[in-house]
Amino acid sequence: MLRPLTRLALALALPALVAACASLPDAGQGRFVARSIELEGTRMPYQVFVPAASARRSGPLPVVLFLHGSGERGRDGVKQTEAGLGPYLRTHAADFPALAVLPQAPEGEEWSDRNNRLALAALDAAIAEFAADPARQYLTGMSMGGYGSWNIALAEPTRFAAIVPICGGIRAPRSERPGLMVEALAQESDPYAALAQRLKDVPIWIFHGALDEAVPPDDDRRLRDAFQAANARDARYTEYPQGDHNAWDATYADPALWRWLFAQER
């Protein structure tokens, strides 16, 4: 449903991408490069982490789409690199072997509807610009981005080789944040079973902190059970017994996650 629009956005962005090739980073070290995409009159900034030449394996690059949390919203094009995956990439700039695309949602908005289409357009643009592998696209997000990961995965169920939602959920965790939800499941009597049925063939690893008060782990526990009931192909759940809402630092620091993730292929 989203692909025609993302292809259109990519076509509109290609002239700028060609011009940007002259400013590609030094291949001797991994670093971020700033980009932006426009769709339906709305511009979204995003960053692309380009791995060091020495870290790349043979063949096209795998690519990770990262969706930030509420605190990183804005239009500066940088804040989304300052929590979650971004700090991990800076620490591992010498050895991280994949592209990473980090779009930024505007202040006060969720990862839904147009913002998701813009994020996918940014991903398409990065795949085209840096010759990434379409069969090795991965999706991850934290908190608000965990919700967004489900929204995008449900809209594009055959696109991603694996999904890693962190401290997200399905239903709004608080009454003052009614828009923080998985919209595609809003009318389902059992949204957990519905999600598991739709995504049971996609490798998924969910992470949450047991002491999380911002987004309690109840939804993710129900998803764990729903994936088990659906006989999912590879659905994993890790809960940190002493973890709070910041489950992302421990998750991205875990080498087992990256070994598992990069082993997945469409």
CA–CA dist 55, 164 (Å, integer) = 22
**Residue 231: half-sphere exposure toward Cβ, Cα within 13 Å:** 0
Q: Residue for token digits 């809402």?
A: 245
Number of alpha carbons in the 13 Å side-chain half-sphere of residue 248: 26
The closest of 169, 156, 162 to 69, measured between CA atoms, is 169
Which residue has 């998985």 as its token pair? 182
Residue whose C-alpha is closest to residue 111's, from 139, 81, 76, 130:
139
pLDDT over 50 at 166, yes or no? yes
Q: pLDDT per residue over 202-219, tens digit each?
A: 999 999 999 999 999 999
CA angle 238, 240, 245 (to 5 degrees): 105
Q: Could you tell me which of 147, 163, 152, 148 has the C-alpha nearest to residue 215?
A: 147
The CATH number assigned to the domain with range 3-263 reads: 3.40.50.1820
Does 3 score more than 70 pLDDT?
A: no
Q: Would you state the pLDDT for residue 118?
A: 98
Q: What average pLDDT score do residues 74-86 get?
A: 98
Q: What residues contact 248, with CB distance under 8 A and at least 6 apart?
A: 83, 84, 85, 142, 143, 166, 167, 207
- Asked whether residue 86 carries a pLDDT value surpassing 50, the answer given is yes
Between the alpha carbon of residue 158 and those of residues 5, 145, 247, 259, the distances in Å are 17, 19, 27, 21
What is the pTM for the complete model shown?
Answer: 0.90
Query: Comparing C-alpha atoms, which of 55, 109, 46 is closest to residue 81?
Result: 46
> What DSSP assignment string belongs to 1-30?
--HHHHHHHHHHHHHHHHHHGGGPPPTTS-
User: CB neighbours of 22 closer than 8 A, spacing ≥ 6?
Assistant: none
Annotated domain spans of the chain: 3-263
pLDDT in tens, 223-236: 999 999 999 999 99
**Share of residues in the chain with pLDDT > 70 (%):** 89
Question: What is the C-alpha to C-alpha distance for residues 255 and 88, in angstroms, rounded to an integer?
Answer: 12
Q: Which of 140, 151, 104, 92 is nearest to 264 (CA)?
A: 140
pLDDT digits (tens, 9 = 90+) for 96-129: 999 999 999 999 999 999 999 999 999 999 999 9
